[in-house]
Amino acid sequence: MAETTILQDRRLLGVEILRFYMAFMVVATHFGGHLVCSVESVLYIFEGFHVAVFMLLSFLLCGKYFFEPTKQLVNKRIVRIVLPFVVWGIVGFLVSLCFYPNMPFETLCWQLCTGHTGVNSPLWFLAVMLWISLLFWAIRLVCDKKIFVITIVVLAVVCIILQYTELNYAMFGNLSYELKYPLGRTIEMMPYASLGVCCSMLLPFINRLENKKQTIIFAIAAGLVAFCVLLHYLFGEITVQGFGYNGAYMLVVAFLLVVIACTIPLNFIKNQTFNNIILWICSFTMGVFCIHAFVGRSLEYLFRIWGFETNTIVICLAIYVVCYLVSLLIYLIPSKYAKMLVR
């Protein structure tokens, strides 16, 4: 029985592959669009879930940072968020100056405050992650574990109500571009963060389950995802004004995708060489996420000069490969802070 148990500190192949796939979906969302072949439509089934999955995974895998916050753990998480946020914000601004020489310095200031400008807009994700983390730490500072869990669950429910009543959009929808998306998405991301922290309590239990039991959970979760996607295809969803990540459908499917990743039979492969290769390939999703915006704009410019079509899976693959190679080169720099920029 012990031989089929996943170690608690082991990186799961399923989780890393999910990250790898969702990182490509981020690129596809921003730079894809035109289908080259019909099979792409299957690849893009979960295109809109990338940020939801990343936020859920971040708080799921870092539950100890909130249940047992120490100065060392808090500082570690802050550095791992703030360092890439600031560095890639500045780099994005410098690259953008090549295309827009008259870009005002104010743009950089907004980028380093909210993460959401034309410089490197995807970094809003890191800003929101930091804000929610600080809020959770503040709650945990004054509450014991039980009250902390109850409080973040209540926060999640309130945020979902704000979404469906469109109060969230009413509060932030008329603000400037640099403010409305980060603030509005903070409300939309709160349920994912709360769910992630709460579910982190179940990880040790799941890790101790036998292969057979995890496979059963995997099959159930996969079936539920298929059912949810079918219902969405047949009947659609109750749509409300929001900022891209609101609604119960996205929350439920993102959660089920994470369950699938945590219980997929791939996690029990014993071939260490195979595991190491997959884990290495999937290691640089952080770097891809942080730099794909300005790398993509640069490649789009070159594609147009060379006469190639843009907004296709071809340029998405090119962007992903370039981002990956840049991340790999940065990782080879003998500095732990350089490595934090891409992993």
Q: What is the SS3 string spanning the chain? A: CHHHCCCCCCCCHHHHHHHHHHHHHHHHHHHCCECCCCCHHHHCCCHHHHHHHHHHHHHHHCCHHHHCCCHHHHHHHHHHHHHHHHHHHHHHHHHHHHHCCCCCHHHHHHHHHHCCCCCCHHHHHHHHHHHHHHHHHHHHHHCCHHHHHHHHHHHHHHHHHHHHCCHHHHHHCCCCHHHHHHHHHHHHHHHHHHHHHHHHHHHHHHHHCCHHHHHHHHHHHHHHHHHHHHHHHHHCCCCCCCCCCCCHHHHHHHHHHHHHHHHCHHHHCCCHHHHHHHHHHHHHHHHHHHHHHHHHHHHHHHHHHHCCCCCEHHHHHHHHHHHHHHHHHHHCCCCHHHHHCCC
The confidence score (pLDDT) of residue 238 equals 73
Residue 334, burial from CB neighbour count under 10 angstroms (0-12, 13-18, 19+): exposed
- Distance, CA of 228 to CA of 231 (rounded, Å): 5
Q: Tokens representing 232?
A: 């969405």
Nearest to 125 by CA among 64, 41, 59: 59
Q: Are 76 and 330 in contact (CB under 8 A)?
A: no
Q: How many CA atoms lie within 13 A of 301 on its CB side?
A: 11
- Distance, CA of 283 to CA of 55 (rounded, Å): 17
Rg (CA), the chain: 20
The confidence score (pLDDT) of residue 3 equals 35
Low-confidence ranges of the chain (pLDDT < 70): 1-10, 36, 38
Nearest to 18 by CA among 278, 329, 293, 217: 278
pTM of the prediction? 0.93
CA distances (Å), origin 236, targets 215, 240, 249: 30, 12, 10
* DSSP-assigned beta bridge partners for residue 34: 312
Nearest to 87 by CA among 75, 95, 76, 99: 95
The confidence score (pLDDT) of residue 1 equals 33
CB atoms within 10 A of CB 302: 12
